[in-house]
Structure 1
Amino acid sequence: MMVLGFLLLALAAIPFVLTLMNLSTLRATPRHAPTGDVLVSILIPARNEATNIEPALEAALGSMGVPVEILVMDDGSTDGTGDIVRAVMARDPRVRLLTAPPLAEGWTGKIHACHHLSEAAHGTHLLFVDADVRLGPHAAALLAGHAQATDAGLVSAVPRQIMVTLGELLTVPTINLLLLGYLPMGFMRLSRDPGLGAACGQLMLMERGAYRASGGHAAVRSRIHDGIQLARLFRRKGIMTDLMPGERLATCRMYAGLDEAWSGFAKNAHEGMATPVALPIWTVLLLGGHVLPFALLPFLPSLPIAGAALLSLVTRMLVTFATQENPWSIPLHPVTTFVGLAIQWSVLLRIGDACRAGWKGRLYPVEEKP
């Protein structure tokens, strides 16, 4: 029992130490204003986003500190998304509405829309934003300034995640736990290793020349998770990528409940940890570090197991308060971690519809991984 207890304690200590280091690294990140002749193109792929697109545009139009243009790619919407954009466009010439061409063979929908947005954009920097993201006034300027100051071709951040329902609280908090607890950001900033590449597809800014040199979305045309794929692509091409604290840059409410959240995370799992090699390792790390200490403590009480549970809970608290997430994620932490693993295993084992990936109702076959 003592051996098991110390193993769980070690597994809980890893994300605790990394979270402390990463928060220190991120909090020390200087804020830079852009210099020179900079234009940020805010690019929004939209498919049936009638409830989201107007507030997304209003937030983007409030950008300060840098000139912006805003392009919306309407990809086959049937809910009046285009009409809403036209109404905003009529009162502000910075907004342009584009219609996505028919989906080309071998492309996924959002990637296809983003590629055509990049071709129509005039900016020195391309800021790809999901329609459910609400940009803060200084987000575009600070992202562009950071890219200039660090010579990073891609800069991303995780917006402050808005969670209302229990289903959201059981799924969404995993994003920041994985980034802050398992990605060594100090090493990420020192190395161009593709394995250290990470980005959040909700909010990604790319310098135009670096985007073109990397091949951009066209180089990952068959993929779903553009955040992971583009960050790794840039690094394979020798182009640095970076992360910034995002809780003050933007907000995002990704999903409205458990069914929607489960489907959304399952979509990206195909290109994340849900592989035969990676998922068993992640299961040991996450189950051992964040679930088993709480499950075993009532039956096998010991100081190491209690210490593991405490470290795991403190890690969740640090992540929650640093990213300004809903504090109800703290008591739900072990269940949230378990649900996250359940989603990944459902994808790997092809349970139900989890073996299909897609975007806004458009489904694609999943590529087999070697």
Structure 2
Amino acid sequence: MTPALSFQESGPVAVQADASRTPEADPPNAEKRPRVSILIPARDEAATIEHTVRAALASTGAAIEVLVGDDHSTDATAALVRAIAATDSRLSLVPIPSLPEGWTGKNHACAVLAGRARFEHLLFIDADVTLAPAAAAALAAHATATDAALVSGVPRQRMGTLGERLTVPMIGFLLVGYLPVPMMRSSLRTSLGAACGQLVLVDRAVYAATGGHGAIRGFLHDGVLLARRLRGAGHRTDLVAGHALASCRMYRGWGEAWAGFSKNAHEGMATPRALPIWSLLLFGGHILPVLLLILFGLGLVTPVAAGLALAALLLSLGTRAAITFAMREPAVTIPLHPVTVTVALLIQWNVLLRRKAAGAAVWKGRSYPLNGA
């Protein structure tokens, strides 16, 4: 029995269909198990790849194969995967060909891996994502039960430094706090397509029919754009609770976090049309209340204004707390929330106003043109 997944209005929740039994306690008939190809693009991931691969191979409740795409790594990534593959025939190392013009690295690697996959469900995960044993089976079961061509979740984010805690929590906050989940599920509107590229399961036939990663080859936001591509073709997509399915440590320190989120900003909020709106929304709801309370302490704001600011701040922190606890993120990130929002806006404005100084989108030693141009 695999976990049933839900995503409620109050935040993400993952519950088992029968809370009294673990997924391993009642394995399904082998003939009815979903078949999942777990696809992992990897470029210089020696620090994490062995742990990621072994966790994927430990999947239960589904027939799996694990394909790791070695994208011209200069470290021990390929050697580590080969060593594990020598002991487990379900694992294969796939050398990724040279990057064609007009492609981003991850999209190219994912497309190559999908072309080598044998099973009907394709589960794309990043090389720093640790799958829970029942994750692949749970995602496949949810996709089948809901007739969703794509199901994604936000893994539980692990954060080891202050720099990570001031940046990473915005992922879940924006997705959970600002995505109208009931509307997303009841509608096929393209604009409501949402996914986290760290953990995406997609139907293989639909993926091929809609062009897969090849249809978004020049872009960096593979998760969101893939979901919107499928919705545009009339297919249902879903975003579910991910904290019980996988965990991930995206970055290690302030420098990596700033660079990573700057890369994503090129195709995120950092546009002349979107950023002013997002800035008003985020600044007014999460930063201004703190500033008004500071001004009240200096005698520059009336008690009425301070009272309203306090109410707004409590609402802001309460929302952040609900999302933090639901996604199993560190509680210390809650009081840091106003600073986290400030940092997020600084990253976005830095990319928008200093586009040349901020640089092209650069990652893993590769530089890409902006906005898929």
CA contact (8 A) 2:267 2:371 kept: no
| Counterpart for residue 12 of structure 1 | none
1:332-343 to structure 2, matched below 5 A, reads: 332-343=336-347
| 1:262-341 superposed matches below 5 A | 262-299=258-295, 300=301, 301=303, 302-341=306-345
**What residue number does 1:236 align with?**
232
Q: Is the 8 A contact 1:192 1:239 kept in 2?
A: yes
1:298: Cα distance to partner?
Answer: 2.3
Give 3-state SS (helix, strand or coil) of 1:338's partner.
helix
- The aligned residue for residue 10 of structure 2 is 23
Supply the distance in 2 between the matched residues of 1:193 and 1:156 (Cα, whole angstroms): 17
Given the alignment of the two structures, is residue 196 of structure 1 paired with residue 200 of structure 2, yes or no?
no
Correspondence for 1:141:
137
Contact 1:31 1:146 in 2 (8 A): no
Aligned pair partner of 1:77 in 44, 53, 73? 73
CA contact (8 A) 1:29 1:244 kept: no
Q: Which runs of 5+ in 1 are unaligned?
A: 1-19
Letter paired with 2:249: R
Structure number with higher relative contact order (C-alpha < 8 Å, ≥ 6 residues apart): 1
Residues 28 and 98 of structure 1: is their aligned pair in 2 closer, same or farther, counting only changes over 3 Å? closer
Matched AA of 1:150: T
CA distance in 1: counterparts of 2:13 and 2:328, whole angstroms: 14
Residue 294 of structure 2: SS of its match in structure 1?
Answer: coil
Instruction: Find the aligned partners of 1:89 and 1:190 in 2 and give their Cα distance.
Output: 43
The superposition leaves residues 154-211 of structure 1 with CA deviations (integer Å, 9 ceiling, x where unpaired) of 0000000001100000000001110111110010000011110110000000011111
Displacement over 6 Å in runs of 4+: 32-35
Alignment partner, residue 127 of structure 2: 131
Q: Distance in 1 between matches of 2:268 and 2:200?
A: 18
Report how far residue 21 of structure 1 moved. 6.0
What is the letter of the counterpart of residue 359 of structure 2? C
Aligned partners of 1:194 and 1:271: how far apart in 2? 17
State the partner residue of 2:102.
106
Unaligned runs of 5+ in 2: 1-6, 296-300
Classify 1:21/1:125 alpha carbon distance in 2 versus 1 (closer, same or farther; 3 Å): closer
C-alpha deviations, 1:242-278, integer Å up to 9, x for none?
Answer: 0110110000000001110011111111222111111
Q: Contact 1:355–1:366 at 8 Å: present in 2 too?
A: no
Which residue of structure 2 aligns with residue 350 of structure 1?
354
Deviation at 1:353, TM superposition (A): 5.2
Contact 2:33 2:61 in 1 (8 A): no
User: Partner of 1:178 in structure 2?
Assistant: 174
Could you say what secondary structure the match of 2:370 adopts? Answer: coil
CA distance in 1, matches of 2:372, 2:248: 31
> Is residue 286–residue 338 contact of structure 2 (8 Å, CA) maintained in 1?
yes
1:126-167 alpha-carbon deviations (Å, 9 max, x no partner): 000000000000000000000000010100000000011000
Q: Which residue of 354, 363, 370 maps to 1:366?
A: 370
Report the structure, 1 or 2, having the larger strand content: 2
Greater displacement, 355-364 / 63-72: 355-364
Match of 2:3 in 1: none
Asked if the contact 1:234–1:241 (Cα under 8 Å) also holds between the matched residues in 2, the reply is yes
Q: 1:46-85: per-residue Cα shift (whole Å, max 9, x none)?
A: 0000001000011101100101100000001000110000
Q: Secondary structure at the match of 1:308?
A: helix
User: Contact conserved, 1:125 with 1:208, CA < 8 A, in 2?
Assistant: yes
CA contact (8 A) 1:177 1:319 kept: yes
* Residue identity opposite 2:229 in structure 1: L
- Which of 214, 221, 235 is the matching residue for 1:218? 214
Report the TM-score, using the length of structure 1 for normalisation: 0.90
Give % identity. Answer: 56
Question: Following the alignment from structure 2 to structure 1, what is the Cα–Cα distance between the partners of residues 43 and 225?
Answer: 21
Q: How many residues align?
A: 349
Partners of 1:76 and 1:358 in 2: how far apart? 16
Is the deviation greater in 349-358 or in 74-83? 349-358
Partner of 2:322, secondary structure, is helix
For normalisation by structure 2, the TM-score amounts to: 0.90
Corresponding letter in the other structure for 2:370: V
1:263 alignment partner AA: A
Q: CA deviation at 1:360?
A: 1.2
Instruction: Determine helix, strand or coil for the equivalent of 1:91.
Output: coil
In the alignment, the residues of structure 2 paired with residue 42 and residue 63 of structure 1 have an alpha-carbon distance, to the nearest angstrom, of: 10
- 3-state DSSP of counterpart to 2:244: coil
* Cα deviation, residue 29, structure 1: 7.4
Deviates more, 1:188-197 or 1:357-366: 357-366
2:251 aligned partner: 255
